Homo-oligomer: A and B are copies of this chain.
């Protein structure tokens, strides 16, 4: 198949081509792509949420093993996740892309297919952006705009002593998925090149029984469902963030912003079977992976003690500890009852 050249379309042509048949679904979107600005209108009982992320090839993603469609999906998802982490609903995104000459129109269609899949699943309009040539590699900048009921935005700063610390889903899987992809990449490149210096094309990476870990790394899901469940249960979390840098780092952020401490129990940190099993294969401590791995895009939040029963009945949410006063420190209680200070990077019982 001949690859379409982006030069034939030009910058305006490419944006038009990629966005031309995208329907707008939100009533807050008055005007999407095609003017100097997008124009939005939010109801008077809403506050507006804004978040932005910059993703760079070679730093945040490796196109050796990340398909462009997955990259588009994940690029949107990490931004939507930040809006959910405020208790809000994402409504619009703008997408800026810098791309070098090795990318074709087909490549950008793949990227947009993933982006649109994520946006459709979450009811989000693509309302603007910018495409430009870059000297090297692919760079993606996405801004997401969302809304939340007036006065209901959930900040990092609202946690109070005795609040319960909760986590959605399970942790550490995305990190181990990345390690698996990196391992197979190394095996691939360590194979003998053929007479033309090319790597063999029949290489089949071995991910059997580890599909869940790959999916967590390549196709993370922002937890819209948890926000809806919390609303339905009438629970207003006191503090919330999404877990993008690892549980340890996010716990420290909430404690710092809320001027409090926490006690978190290793035995309660939710883990998937594949995560535990893969950590063992890699001879890694699975708790370390869960605490410091990152990219899980689960929600970490605190709720008043009075909501304990409601939380216990909630599917896919686990209580992992509680908030204390600042003097009591930020503490992890291990399975054997030992206490460790939580550190942003590298709490590691193997090192202690």
- A contact residues vs B (CB 8 Å cutoff): 30-31, 34-44, 47-54, 56-60, 82-83, 85-86, 88, 92, 94, 96-98, 127-130, 132-137, 139, 141, 143, 145-146, 148, 150, 153, 155-157, 240-242, 257
Contact flag A42-B35 (CB < 8 Å), given A54-B141, A98-B139: no
CA–CA, A34 to B132, complex, Å?
30
Partner of A86, one of B39, B41, B85, B156: B39
Contacts of A137 in B (CB 8 A): 135
> A50-B127, A94-B50 in contact; A37/B143 too (CB < 8 A)?
no
Q: Given B39, B129, B143, which contacts A153 in the complex, CB threshold below 8 Å? A: B39
Question: With the chains together, A139 CA to B244 CA distance in Å?
Answer: 22
Chain B residues lying within 8 Å of A53, measured Cβ to Cβ, are 96, 130
A83 nearest CB neighbor, chain B only: B37
A127, closest chain B residue (CB): B50
Which of A35, A36, A127, A143 gathers the greatest number of chain B CB atoms within 10 Å?
A36
Among candidates B51, B135, B150, residue contacting A56 with C-beta atoms closer than 8 Å? B135
Partner of A38, one of B51, B60, B139, B241: B51
When all copies of this chain in the complex are counted, the total is 2
Interface residue from B34, B51, B143, B157 paired with A50 (Cβ < 8 Å):
B143
A43 — nearest CB in chain B belongs to which residue? B44
Bound-state CA distance A58–B137 (Å) is 13
In this complex, the member of A39, A60, A94 whose beta carbon has the largest number of chain B beta carbons within 10 angstroms is A39
Residues of B within 8 A of A139 (CB): 54, 56, 98, 134, 139
Name the contact of A37 in the complex, choosing from B59, B82, B96, B134 (C-beta under 8 A). B82
**Are A56 and B98 in contact, with the CB atoms below 8 A?**
yes
CB distance from A245 to the nearest CB of B (A): 9
- 3 residue pairs, one from A and one from B, having the closest CB atoms: A141-B141, A44-B44, A37-B49
Q: Is the CB of A54 within 8 A of B96?
A: yes
Given A98-B139, A141-B141, A153-B31, answer yes or no on A48-B39 (Cβ-Cβ < 8 Å).
Answer: yes
Kindly list chain B residues whose C-beta atoms are within 8 Å of the C-beta of A39: 47-49, 86, 148, 153
Residues on the B chain within 8 Å of A146, using CB: 37
Question: What is the minimal beta-carbon distance from A91 to any residue of chain B, in angstroms?
Answer: 11
- B58 and A135 contacting across the interface, CB-CB below 8 Å: yes
A39 to B153, CA, bound (A): 8
Whether A37 contacts B86 by the Cβ 8 Å rule is yes
Contact residues in B for A37 (Cβ distance below 8 Å): 49-51, 82-83, 85-86, 88, 146, 153
